[in-house]
């Protein structure tokens, strides 16, 4: 049975992602009541609470928190995800961790261990799983609507991106990598959800010791005739037309990054484009962040698996670590390449 | 850190403001390749600094150029300053004022500022081939702003801060924003070629620009001067667009005429007409906006009720008088040409970097052709056109 009493939520880490996404999503949800902000920068946290008209407890640490809470959203720099999650779980608090689960597989395993011991829930903030076009594509793929899948290509690129209050994204250690973690991990999660864990992964990136700004992944899934080849590119230095294109037996399927468009260019009718939609899907105006928080709350209240579990978050981390271990430097001396 | 080298002299420390931009990054990379120079990369926010933060050999410093205290601290140890910042008018004027004052206060040995060829306007005079010509930005807003900045920098030179201004045209090379914009316009039918592309398209490779800045930083001969920098080649739009066209699936470029440009970028005439203003005030658009206020909504309903009580034809005449006849806007059937951008083909001046070469020993390292080939390679690699996934990826374009 779902409780009618709002779920008492704390937001840990009052940075840009909380400001722009988690706080508005929690405020929009009838299932949730924000009761506390936790951030070492208490003054800024207080200003942001005032901005939203919130009368919440402001605390510099989880340890000092006085309010009674049911769960917490952890939206801090990546290297703090694991220690804070473990601290919360040990105090009997379920956590929704902004992606990634942790900044290393080792830390991720420690979170899973703490989850098991505590009996509380851990959900990972891969909110793009809620994109309607992704959900429809997955459903159709599982029904074998597109026939055999041969290969896919995905790219996402922006010249720069959002900036943080703490500048932590300029520090490779704090991030646990570069663009592959900051931007790429969302797509990798969706890809793992679609195709499972790849058999081969090859990463090329442009890191010169710091967080890479460009990353290209080549990978394959399965063997022989069932083999699916994949190409993925993430850039923080240039704009790219973003989206996923999948070469299938039935035709080319394109999933736009606008969350909704899913189109099929059939192989047998090259002058036709079919817009696919799900008439049974409920239309929701809620953001994917709200859907994510509500899924987290339901998983806590009904004691069921959240949309993205800690185990799934760990698989993403494993893939990222494996990719970094075998990385090659991308060729980016464009004049040198010309034989100059 | 003492800031002294082993000879006991103050180390060369260059603070680059606007380091994360296209030009700023090239300047940083150029300076990092030199021995005995310490580079201080000053950025406004970490979001756009990815090209720099991937380097472990560089420390980034976040500074708000509008904060005098932050600027003071950032350049306290700097011996040289490069200004590549961009931003709002206020940032570009007030920020520069702070930067110049603090640079003088800190005893900076040389200050180099990036200007723009647009200080010579959209229709540069034939004399502007040479940078000794008097700038005249005409109505170009960016040119006017950059010229104001140039004046501030030259005044600072008169007041004792050694400064040099480097004035680039379209900056090309890998990551070029000008070329990215041009290729997108070609793809989307927004670019039309004028006069078979025979007009001048002034360019400078971003690496050459960085070299010019480095020369200006460490050569006192340029103090108080402004120099145009180019690749020292007379490049035409046909040459530039040929490279770009090869990167698209287009077979050929749209061609346009000079009259088309002149007709389409003619500034609209604004004339005062009290009657038209009154009619606009009582138009349905304005009334609809006002009806959101409950009181004004009631007033509007009252007047609408009065009009509705008028005899049929009279009511129609009142409405026609207020709203005017039904208007249908013209819908263009042609390509959505960006006329403002295309008008740059009418500039018609091959700018020269002779004085920069003579005074400061500037020698461009990359030719126009090398720069364009490097851009093409960067573009293809970025888009996966060098892989077996090219055809799939082109479906996303």
Where do the domains of chain A lie?
Answer: 7-128+287-309, 129-277+320-329
Class of domain A7-128+287-309 as given by CATH: alpha beta
Q: CA B321 to CA B300: how far, in whole Å?
A: 17
Enter the pTM of the model.
0.89
Q: Is A262 helix (H, G, I), strand (E, B) or coil?
A: strand
Phi, psi of A93 (to 5 degrees): -110, 125
Gap between the Cα atoms of A176 and A101, Å rounded: 11
| B377/A159 CB distance under 8 A | no
**Residue from the list B47, B55, B377 with its beta carbon closest to the beta carbon of A337:** B377
Res. A311: pLDDT tops 60: yes
**How many domains in chain B?**
1
pLDDT of A96 > 90? The answer is: yes
Chain B contact for A231 (CB, 8 A cutoff): yes
Cα B354 to Cα A54, B117, B182, B347, B370, distances in angstroms: 64, 15, 28, 20, 21
Superfamily of domain A129-277+320-329: Dihydrodipicolinate Reductase; domain 2 (3.30.360.10)
Q: Is A162 on the interface with B (CB under 8 A)?
A: yes
Interface membership of A248 toward B (CB under 8 Å): no
Position B1 scores a pLDDT of: 41
Chain A contact present for B48, CB below 8 A: yes
pLDDT confidence of residue B2: 44
In a domain, B38, yes or no: no
Structure ipTM = 0.89
Collapsing DSSP to helix, strand or coil, A244 comes out as strand
Look at strands B80-83 and B192-194 and give their pairing: unpaired
Question: Burial level of B311, CB count in 10 A (0-12/13-18/19+)?
Answer: exposed
User: Please, which pLDDT band fits residue A2 given cuts at 50, 70 and 90?
Assistant: low
Number of neighbours of residue B195 by Cβ within 10 angstroms: 16
Hey, is the C-beta of B174 within 8 angstroms of any chain A C-beta?
Answer: yes
B319 lies in a domain? Answer: yes
Report which of residues B291 and A93 the model is more confident about: A93
Q: What's the whole-number mean pLDDT along residues B17-44?
A: 95
Q: Which of A162-171, B5-14, B199-208 has the lowest mean pLDDT?
A: B5-14
Interchain pair B47, A340: CB under 8 A: no
Which carries the bigger pLDDT value, residue A270 or residue A159? A159
A169 interfacial to chain B (CB closer than 8 Å)? yes
Nearest CA in chain A to B207: A335
Q: Are strands A240-248 and A251-256 parallel, antiparallel or unpaired?
A: antiparallel
Name which of B47, B56, B57 is nearest A163 (Cβ-Cβ): B47
Q: Among A226-235, B100-109, B162-171, B307-316, which stretch is predicted with the lowest mean pLDDT?
A: B307-316
Highest mean pLDDT among A255-264, A315-324, B45-54, B217-226: A315-324
pLDDT at residue A22 tops 60: yes
* Domain range for B288: 274-323
Contact (Cβ atoms closer than 8 angstroms) between residue A6 and residue A302 = no
A95 contacts A85 by C-beta, under 8 angstroms: yes
Check A233 against B378: CB less than 8 A apart: no
Tell me what pLDDT residue B46 has.
86
Tell me what pLDDT residue B269 has.
58
From chain B, the residues in CB contact with A236 under 8 A are 50-51
Of A153, A238, A340, the CB nearest to B389: A153
Position B287 in a domain? yes
Q: What percent of chain B has pLDDT over 90?
A: 74
Percent of chain A at pLDDT exceeding 90? 84
* B302 within some domain: yes
pLDDT of residue B238: 97
Classify burial at B346, counting beta carbons within 10 Å of its beta carbon; exposed 0-12, middle 13-18, buried 19 or more: middle
Convert the pLDDT of each residue in B162-209 to its tens digit. Answer: 999 999 999 999 999 999 999 999 999 999 999 999 999 999 999 999
Interchain CB distance below 8 Å, B50 and A160: yes
- Per the CB < 8 Å rule, is B57 touching A254? no
> Could you tell me which of B38, B30, B33 has the C-alpha nearest to residue B5?
B38
- Which residues, in sequence order, are CB contacts of B38 under 8 Å at separation 6+? B11, B12, B13, B14
Q: Would B347 be classed as within a structural domain?
A: no
In whole angstroms, give the CA distance from residue A32 to residue A7. Answer: 5
pLDDT higher than threshold 80 for residue A174: yes
Residue A302 φ/ψ, nearest 5 degrees: -100, 0
Question: 41-70 in A: which are within 8 Å (CB) of B?
Answer: none
Better-scored residue on pLDDT, B333 or B95: B95
Please report the pLDDT score of residue B169 as a whole number. 97
State yes or no: pLDDT of B328 exceeds 60.
yes
- Segment B279-321, tens digit of pLDDT: 777 777 787 888 888 888 888 888 878 877 777 777 777 777 7
pLDDT of residue A282: 66
CA closest to A244 among chain B residues: B396
Strand order of the β-sheet with B80-83 is B60-62, B37-43, B12-17, B80-83, B110-114, B163-167, B225-228
| Selected residue with higher pLDDT from B315 and B243 | B243
């Amino acid at each position: 049975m779902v409780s009618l009493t709002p779920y008492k939520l704390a937001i840990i880490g009052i940075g840009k992602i909380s400001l722009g996404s988690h706080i508005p999503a929690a405020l929009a949800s009838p299932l949730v009541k924000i009761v506390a902000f936790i951030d070492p920068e208490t003054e800024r946290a207080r200003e942001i609470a005032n901005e939203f008209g919130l009368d919440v407890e402001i605390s510099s640490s989880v340890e000092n928190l006085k309010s009674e809470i049911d769960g917490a959203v952890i939206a801090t720099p990546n290297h703090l995800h694991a220690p804070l999650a473990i601290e919360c779980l040990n105090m009997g608090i379920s956590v929704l961790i902004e992606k990634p689960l942790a900044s290393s597989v080792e830390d991720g395993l420690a979170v899973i261990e703490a989850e098991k011991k505590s009996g509380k829930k851990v959900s990972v903030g891969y909110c793009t799983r809620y994109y309607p076009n992704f959900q429809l594509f997955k459903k159709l793929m599982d029904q074998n609507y597109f026939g055999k899948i041969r290969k896919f290509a995905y790219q996402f690129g922006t010249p720069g991106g959002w900036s943080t209050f703490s500048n932590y994204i300029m520090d490779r250690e704090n991030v646990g990598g570069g663009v592959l973690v900051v931007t790429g991990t969302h797509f990798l999660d969706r890809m793992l959800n679609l195709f499972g864990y790849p058999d081969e992964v090859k990463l090329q990136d442009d890191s010169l010791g710091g967080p890479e700004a460009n990353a290209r992944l080549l990978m394959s899934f399965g063997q022989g005739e069932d083999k699916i080849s994949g190409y993925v590119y993430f850039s923080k230095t240039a704009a790219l037309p973003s989206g996923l294109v999948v070469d299938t037996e039935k035709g080319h399927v394109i999933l736009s990054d606008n969350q909704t468009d899913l189109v099929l260019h059939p192989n047998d009718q090259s002058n036709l484009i079919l817009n696919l939609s799900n008439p049974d899907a409920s239309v929701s105006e809620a953001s994917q962040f709200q859907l994510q928080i509500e899924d987290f709350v339901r998983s806590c209240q009904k004691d069921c698996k959240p949309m993205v579990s800690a185990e799934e978050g760990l698989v993403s981390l494993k893939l990222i670590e494996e990719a970094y271990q075998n990385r090659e430097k991308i060729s980016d001396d464009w004049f040198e390449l010309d034989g100059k | 850190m003492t800031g002294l080298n082993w000879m006991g002299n103050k180390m060369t420390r260059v603070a680059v403001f606007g380091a994360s931009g296209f030009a700023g990054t090239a300047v940083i990379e150029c300076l990092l390749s030199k021995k005995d120079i310490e580079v201080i990369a000053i950025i406004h926010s970490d979001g756009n600094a990815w090209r720099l933060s991937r380097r472990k050999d560089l420390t980034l410093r976040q500074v708000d150029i509008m904060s005098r205290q932050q600027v003071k601290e950032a350049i306290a140890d700097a011996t040289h300053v490069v200004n590549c910042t961009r931003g709002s008018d206020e940032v570009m004027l007030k920020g520069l004022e702070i930067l110049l004052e603090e640079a003088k206060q800190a005893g900076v040995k040389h200050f180099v500022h990036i200007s723009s060829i647009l200080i010579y306007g959209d229709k540069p005079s034939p004399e502007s081939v040479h940078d000794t010509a008097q700038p005249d930005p005409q109505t170009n807003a960016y040119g006017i702003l950059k010229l104001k900045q140039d004046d501030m920098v030259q005044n600072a030179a008169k007041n004792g801060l050694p400064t040099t201004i480097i004035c680039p045209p379209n900056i090309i090379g890998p990551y070029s924003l000008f070329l990215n914009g041009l290729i997108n316009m070609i793809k989307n039918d927004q670019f039309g070629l004028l006069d078979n592309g025979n007009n001048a398209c002034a360019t400078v490779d971003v690496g050459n620009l960085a070299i010019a800045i480095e020369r200006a930083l460490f050569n006192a001969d340029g103090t108080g001067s402004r120099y145009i920098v180019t690749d020292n080649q007379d490049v035409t739009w046909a040459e530039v667009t040929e490279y770009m066209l090869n990167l698209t699936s287009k077979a050929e470029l749209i061609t346009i005429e000079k009259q088309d440009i002149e007709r389409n970028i003619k500034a609209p005439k604004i004339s005062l007409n009290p009657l038209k203003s009154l009619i606009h005030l009582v138009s349905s658009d304005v009334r609809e906006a006002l009806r959101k206020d409950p009181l004004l909504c009631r007033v509007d309903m009252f007047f609408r009720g009065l009009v509705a009580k008028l005899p049929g034809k009279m009511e129609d005449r009142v409405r026609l008088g207020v709203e005017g006849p039904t208007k249908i806007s013209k819908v263009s059937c042609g390509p959505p040409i960006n006329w403002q951008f295309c008008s740059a083909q009418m500039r018609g001046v091959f700018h020269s970097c002779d004085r920069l070469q003579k005074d400061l020993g500037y020698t461009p390292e990359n030719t126009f052709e090398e720069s364009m080939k490097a851009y093409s390679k960067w573009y293809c690699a970025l888009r996966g056109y060098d892989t077996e996934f090219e055809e799939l990826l082109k479906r996303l374009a």
